């Protein structure tokens, strides 16, 4: 994991409620936006972006939720690479640099960041910026 300042202007941005429904919607909207940009449905890039958005959005809802505050999803696409950014309102609980190993047999949770690390070229966390509270977890695919 590395820490980086955003250098790709967002081309898609959406605020969503910090609920399980909002996390599911984030994944759906990411796929719809990639399709609008011409990324073929079912290709590896589409599937990986949907996975990363789904995991980061679920983490924003589970670990970054502040009552009354939304989370934000931003996507950027330069024709080759996709940048995913998920921001939440809670900056006091950054994700670990190395995702913990979940119990392979019984754990229902704990695999999200390990999945992100496995499919993303790089990922990291930074303060949300622009005076907004919280953090942004980003990934490049």
Question: Tens digit of pLDDT for each residue in 75-96?
Answer: 999 988 999 999 998 877 666 6
Q: What is the pLDDT of residue 10?
A: 46
Spell out the residues 6+ positions from residue 12 whose beta carbon is closer than 8 angstroms to its own.
29, 33, 73, 74, 75, 76
Task: Give the chain's domains with CATH numbers.
Answer: 12-140 (3.30.565.10)
The per-residue pLDDT for 2 is 45
The answer to whether residue 99 scores a pLDDT higher than 60 is no
Helix 112-119, helix 44-62: angle, nearest 10: 150
Length of the chain: 141
Please report which confidence band the pLDDT of residue 68 belongs to, taking 50, 70 and 90 as the band edges: confident
Q: What integer pLDDT is reported at residue 135 of this predicted model?
A: 92
What is the separation, in whole angstroms, between the first and last Cα of the chain?
14
**pLDDT score of 109:** 56
Model confidence pLDDT, tens digit, residues 17-59? 999 999 999 999 999 999 999 999 999 999 999 999 999 999 9
Phi, psi of 110 (to 5 degrees): 105, 0
Predicted TM-score of the model (pTM): 0.82
């Amino acid at each position: 994991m590395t820490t980086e300042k955003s250098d790709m202007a967002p081309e898609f941005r959406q605020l969503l409620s910090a609920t399980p429904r909002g996390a599911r919607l984030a994944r759906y909207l990411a796929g719809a936006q990639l399709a609008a940009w011409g990324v073929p449905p079912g290709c590896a890039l589409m599937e990986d972006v949907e996975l990363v958005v789904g995991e980061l959005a679920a983490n924003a809802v589970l670990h970054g939720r502040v009552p009354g505050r939304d989370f934000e999803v931003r996507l950027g696409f330069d024709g080759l690479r996709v940048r995913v950014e998920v921001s939440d309102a809670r900056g006091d609980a950054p994700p670990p640099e190395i995702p913990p190993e979940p119990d392979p047999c019984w754990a229902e949770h704990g695999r999200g960041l390990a999945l992100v690390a496995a499919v993303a070229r790089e990922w990291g966390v930074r303060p949300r910026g622009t005076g907004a509270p919280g953090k942004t977890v980003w990934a490049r695919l």
